[in-house]
Amino acid sequence: MASKIYKKLSSVKVPKLNKHYIYSIDLKNSNTVNKLNNNIEILILNDFIKIIDLKKNNYILNNIEESFFKKAFQKNCKAILVFSSKILAHISWFTFDKIGKKIIDPISPFENNNSSVYWGTAYTFPKYRNIGISKLAMKECFIYSKKMKFKNLVLSVRTTNIPAIKSYEYFNPRLNGIAYSLNILWYNLRYYINSEK
């Protein structure tokens, strides 16, 4: 037991204060996103069995964290996978509820009174950056969420993540507030400042 505790404590990093913008985007946003080419395929998944099916059908899903996928799917999250010629180029996550939100976006506050969808963890593989794939994924989330009668999308982004901020700016986001987070040992402490008042 003591060796387990020692191992965990020795792997602890120095706490760092992170600053995040909290944005909301109206799902009626009229900005269109052009499809990049015919080799691009966008899929929305909510079940790990579909990941297994993709692999059986020769889709290449290198470097995905299967345990995170399983956990996120169990907590009502949906994954947007963007493929280029059957090679995974981008992963995004979104959810409609508080349980899933804690997995993919623990920073922004939960607002269940205004029909919000929550955008979370997103990653574009280096080879596919700066060509608009993230915008395609987000627009696909808009379309899906509007069909489910949701009105806006809420997301948090570190203020240092300039590429993501530039991508989100395409959709004219509204700044809802600023959050600060600090990870100390196994705790994520956060403080939210609302900019609407």
pLDDT band at residue 183 using 50, 70 and 90 as cut-offs: confident
Could you tell me the pTM of the whole model? 0.84
| Most confident region among 53-62, 96-105, 175-184 by mean pLDDT | 53-62
Asked whether the predicted pLDDT for residue 5 surpasses 70, the reply is no
- Taking only the tens place, the pLDDT of each residue in 48-66 is 999 999 999 999 998 888 9
Asked whether the predicted pLDDT for residue 197 surpasses 50, the reply is no
- The DSSP element (H or E) to which 188 belongs, if any, is strand 187-194
User: β-strands 77-84, 187-194: how paired?
Assistant: unpaired
pLDDT band at residue 112 using 50, 70 and 90 as cut-offs: low
Helical axes 66-74 vs 48-56, angle rounded to 10°:
140
Closest CA to 68 of 120, 2, 135, 32: 120
| Least confident window among 2-6, 131-135, 149-153, 169-173 | 2-6
Secondary structure (DSSP) of 50-109: HHHHHHHTT-B-TT--HHHHHHHHHTTEEEEEEEETTEEEEEEEEESSHHHHHHH-SSSP
- Taking only the tens place, the pLDDT of each residue in 124-167 is 999 999 888 999 999 999 999 999 989 999 999 999 999 999 99
Question: What's the angle, vertex CA 23, arms to CA 160 and CA 44, rounded to 5?
Answer: 95
- What domains lie within the chain, and their CATH numbers? 15-194 (3.40.630.30)
- Residue 9, sorted as left (phi over 0), alpha (psi -120 to 50) or beta, turns out to be alpha
| Least confident window among 25-29, 118-122, 173-177 | 25-29
User: β-strands 77-84, 152-158: how paired?
Assistant: unpaired
pLDDT at 38: 75
Share of the chain above pLDDT 90, in %: 55
